[in-house]
Structure 1
């Protein structure tokens, strides 16, 4: 791309489009390329903005896959309907179908797929009152149950389906839906219908926790960690494309991103903007510490707005009835979080440690039981999704029995913000004033 005029946003930053400074890492990219050639589902996991979608975009063309974006309300049936629609298969659910045989009309209610094909088959006559010519289309009619992975597999084999199916934002699905899909994935594997699952979590074998039969049947690829040399390569890749030089501040820039490639990319972009570099220039511009400071302040402002609002919503808890006073575990969790040192936050809070810390500051310590903390942790993701905290900030890692921060921008935010001022934004629950 050297010699072309590029915008800074095409070179650095977080974008839905592939930026010019994407770099390949053997332990991630080559592993993904190898996985594509195998008959296994692929699980790509890691914190938000760490390169999961970018990895698939780099190595797959749109004609290699179909994609389904998941949300909290998405069910397995929703996913399977989306797949069928994207394959342009005519879909009729509980709709009257009329066929004429020897002049006799037979009407029945069916749930069917109508798959166009070449050759002998059924004929459907579609006649308009304003058009005299009868239009006939050949198709196969297949009765189906969209709740059964086996039926979906048979449908996809009928149309010679060979693409990968990408499930974006798998973590937004309810635990019940994730569990059901974990069982369905095993059935799809038998038919060589292969999925790529993208999710925000830290530990291995997340799906294996729902269905032990998936263990050793999945190809798991963590996109973290990002080492310093990889981040340096990103900065170097972009320097000749924009005529900039990061050498003076590169080490400090890497330190300030806290191992998040998304934050690193955004800081690179904002440094360039601070230096008035908005596109490829003719003269080399040195990026200085002053530019970095402006970039940090800009990103802190951007992230603060979202994170403070998310924390306010996270802490909200309503009583089930007028007589009940909640334990306000989410509020006390945040109070513990903001009282901790940064290293404790990055390492994660073990369940037992969290229980101890909350009991020390709780207004009714004797009422806080291990089961209360356990329920809070088990529903940590689902509650954030319900409250529209996107992406989720915290997750419970069952493997290590600890809470982890899974929004990579939150590390940057919590390290650079004034924690006391931020916590003051969080309303004190009723009865604790």
Structure 2
């Protein structure tokens, strides 16, 4: 068996950090470490597959990580977080939006945390009744809670940091609830890391101005030069040099996204028959291999975006829509120029183009349907967001930059064009 380093150990989209191609873009590692030592929440923003999770894994390796889903709320975040600490959080009524319910230990770790927290606060006697039950001959002790103080204390006592990933999947109302909860958590000495995709600056402060001075926002975005450093560093580990022309094209096809570049690098090497560290040294400047890699990658994305299109089209069909406004909006968004997709597609642009296509479309109605756009896209698990509407900035963000690569290399027939034709025929 060869002891050489494999290309897949260096490049590619991976859930775990690949040290040989991990680039500390803009000294973000130092920034995160510095902020972790301060009494502040941290917000990490950047589009899908831009490296937020790698940044978190490298600098906060033992975090309590909670993944958001569309349709879930702040209460679900606390339930998930406490379950990872072997504490069951039984909520009395989710509809109130208040933290009310009961905590029970479901393991030795949970028992220890509850004993410390409730023993220190004296809430065993003050917080109401305690309940006892048996599970596998182990006594479980439950305590009533009625605010975030105990949630914060349990997480803080664990010595681990709370990380909330995919914040953008929460509804606008739930984002606002969590933003207000973050102020309370800060008061209780629990400092969280919020990770997600949004385009406006300091969105959490926009949602709750009281977070000003209590949260630091860090952007994870890549310039083409930053992306080229990934190729250079990973190439060094494989005794490979990517020539400048190749690097430029690879960065261009990546649309400012580190994950796409990682995938293109690995697939390009596959196209060249390079699967492990080379003997001596090799220079790579075969743009045909890059084109092959991009085409292959785009082809693999076809199932993903056809499912996305099918869900959106299905959702559109359930709406009463005499103007085809949903379909026209989607058509304008997926056909928007790259430069707008990369910085945010303004409501005004979508309106101007959609109104030119169908003069009955009004801006107010368009704004309303864009606010519902996220719900049309996701699957039964609340995942699959491709584009999101930023209500504060009035613009659509391409959450998944792979869409731009897909449409560049694939001929796409989107189903909303058929829906538009149906509306026109029925008018």
TM-score normalised by L of structure 1: 0.80
Contact 2:264-2:293 within 8 A present in 1 as well: yes
Kindly report the root-mean-square deviation, in angstroms, between the aligned alpha carbons of the 2 structures. 3.3
Question: How far is the alpha carbon of 1:388 from its aligned partner?
Answer: 6.7
Please give the alpha-carbon distance, in whole angstroms, between the structure 2 residues aligned to 1:70 and 1:193.
Answer: 19
CA distance in 2, matches of 1:141, 1:425: 52
| Matched residue, 2:23 | 23
Match of residue 274, structure 2, among 277, 284, 303: 277
Contact 1:205 1:215 in 2 (8 A): no
Structure 2 match to 1:291: 289
Q: State the Cα distance separating 1:218 from its structure 2 match.
A: 0.9
Equivalent of residue 254 in structure 1, options 228, 235, 251: 251
Paired residues in the alignment total 395
Alignment of 1:19-418 (within 5 A): 19=18, 20-62=20-62, 65-89=63-87, 111-113=102-104, 115-116=111-112, 117=115, 142-145=143-146, 148-156=147-155, 160-224=157-221, 226-247=222-243, 249-287=246-284, 288-316=286-314, 317-319=316-318, 324-337=320-333, 340-362=336-358, 365-366=359-360, 368-385=361-378, 390-418=383-411
How many Å separate the matches in 1 of 2:133 and 2:321? 64
Task: Please name the residue that 1:423 is paired with.
Answer: 414
Q: Distance in 2 between the 1:136 and 1:383 partners? A: 45
Shift of 1:372: 0.7
Which residue does 2:98 correspond to in 1? none
Deviation at 1:319?
A: 4.6
Kept in 2, the 8 Å contact 1:188–1:194? The answer is yes
Question: How far did 1:326 drift?
Answer: 3.8
User: C-alpha separation between the residues in 2 aligned to 1:215 and 1:92?
Assistant: 32
Structure 2 match to 1:99: none
Question: For residues 15 and 208 of structure 2, what CA distance do their matches in structure 1 show?
Answer: 33
CA gap 1:387/1:202 in 2 versus in 1, 3 angstroms: farther
1:307 positional shift:
2.1
| 1:92 Cα deviation after fit | 6.8
Which runs of no fewer than 5 residues in structure 1 stay unpaired? 95-109
Q: Deviations over 1:324-363 (max 9, x none)?
A: 544332210233245554334444432223222212112x
1:114-151 Cα offsets, whole Å, 9 max, x none, are 544489999999899xx9xxx886x8753213xx3234
Contact 1:338 1:423 in 2 (8 A): no
Gaps of 5+ in 2: 93-100, 106-110, 125-129
TM-score, normalisation: structure 2: 0.82
Residue 276 of structure 1 deviates from its aligned partner by 1.1
- Taking a change above 3 Å as real, the CA distance of residues 4 and 391 of structure 1, as seen in their structure-2 partners, is farther
Larger Rg: 1
